Chains A and B, each alone.
Chain A
């Protein structure tokens, strides 16, 4: 298992963002669904070793991230796209991806090839030497995805990766996700259920800091039978599970 969480909790003052989550994930693409404020981003930040849990246990790639050496090893094999990607406007696309490849402690000799491959995978070859300040929001999102996958991570964490992508790029990205999920654990947090339906092998639905559903997209769809809220079958399943959790 690349991800093991046991009764993981995270609070910010009196606000419980994550209220006891148990999760075990192997390879594959795992979708994390839920309304705003459900705790998806806090959960992802804990998996990215950016935010420590208030209580509970986390093991990533077989290691306990509380130890400095283990945390460093985890981070070498980790890819992370935060919800709001900050960037350095004066850097070019290649410089930005290369900078984070080096901070991930990739071997220097492997960096140029890995950067070029990552740029091509997100279809940004035409903008490789463009300054980040000249790029559109969707292109910046693709730069963020490229820096996340540049080290071929064993654990890839993507927070709202398709936000700002046009439909064509979204289709391309889902294909990329499926290929990445063949060898690694990919966790995608999103509120776009169509992303989950086409790209994810498994899905969890969070509400009020807890996982209220876990199964395949088909199983989530089946939960929506007879439910009227939602335009697509998967959306009806999503709404039905949420309504049940809230009641």
Chain B
């Protein structure tokens, strides 16, 4: 059923017969006709996240074309770089930060046209960014899984980077929702990733490589400072209010 494309108000002659508020009746009909029926993914996400707003942000992430393209390039680019230098634990530790900065830029004040409006909404903008990040990694992981059937390199990238990052970003989002704090969620994500990296490096006997190789200290530090500076700059008004 569709409502024809006519202006919503009825002619004055038809207004309020027998005390019926036709505007209200019309709005009720329009609400039913225009109502969007969320898909299974959105309904599940809304239940899990306890926030229909976050669920909507999650499922609409790929539809915002420019941010999506930038985020995808960042996610795949960082993953490819990480795969080149798998022997360095600090590369693995810093890589999610670089990816997070890229996604925050793409879906944040950098390119999101409605960012100003989002800032005035009750759902915190950083939680929305977590949802965006989780969606970016999840969808790209799904694409990576498909590509893995025909390419060994794609499988390495998918299982070594995209799938773990999907898990970490989902964890960060879940913790931030539970704790009602984006900072706590970010801390949980960082902690989980650090433990995972250090545990895997210890298992392969390479945990001391980063500490003993002094040549990589400066670049790592520079990257970490840049990431912190970009995040701090991008989110400064909210922090201070």
Contacts and interface: CB of A to CB of B under 8 A. Distances in A.
Interface residues of B, number: 44
Interface in A97-137: 98-100, 102-105, 108, 111-113, 115-117, 119-120, 123, 125-129
B85 to A, nearest CB: 38
Given A87-B113, A125-B8, A120 B30 contact: yes
Contacts of B120: 48-50, 75, 78, 80
B95 interface: no
Contacts of A237: none
Interface in B32-48: 32, 34-36, 46
Contacts of B9: 120, 123, 125
A138 interface: no
Contact of A128 (B30, B52, B113, B237): B30
Interface residues of A, number: 48
B113 A103 contact: no
B46 A108 contact: yes
Nearest to B55: A102
Given A116-B34, A120-B8, A100 B117 contact: yes
A111 B237 CA distance: 29
A86 B116 contact: yes
A103 B128 contact: yes
Contact of A123 (B8, B60, B65): B8
B86 interface: no
B8 A119 contact: yes
Interface stretch (A18-26, A65-73, A177-185, A225-233): A65-73
A121 B60 CA distance: 26
Contacts of B224: none
Interface stretch (B11-19, B20-28, B209-217): B20-28
B220 to A, nearest CB: 32
Interface in B59-86: 60, 63-65
Contact of A116 (B7, B30, B112): B30
A119 B114 contact: no
B8 A112 contact: no
Given A120-B23, A126-B5, A87 B30 contact: no
A126 B7 contact: yes
A243 interface: no
A149 interface: no
18 contacts: A50-B119, A66-B241, A86-B115, A87-B114, A99-B56, A103-B123, A105-B53, A105-B121, A108-B46, A112-B34, A113-B28, A113-B31, A116-B28, A119-B30, A120-B8, A120-B27, A125-B3, A125-B30
Interface of B: 3, 5-9, 23, 26-28, 30-32, 34-36, 46, 51-53, 56-57, 60, 63-65, 112-124, 128, 181, 237, 240-241
Given A87-B114, A123-B8, A126-B5, 15 more contacts: A49-B241, A50-B119, A52-B237, A66-B241, A85-B117, A86-B117, A94-B34, A98-B36, A103-B56, A104-B122, A115-B31, A119-B34, A125-B3, A125-B30, A128-B30
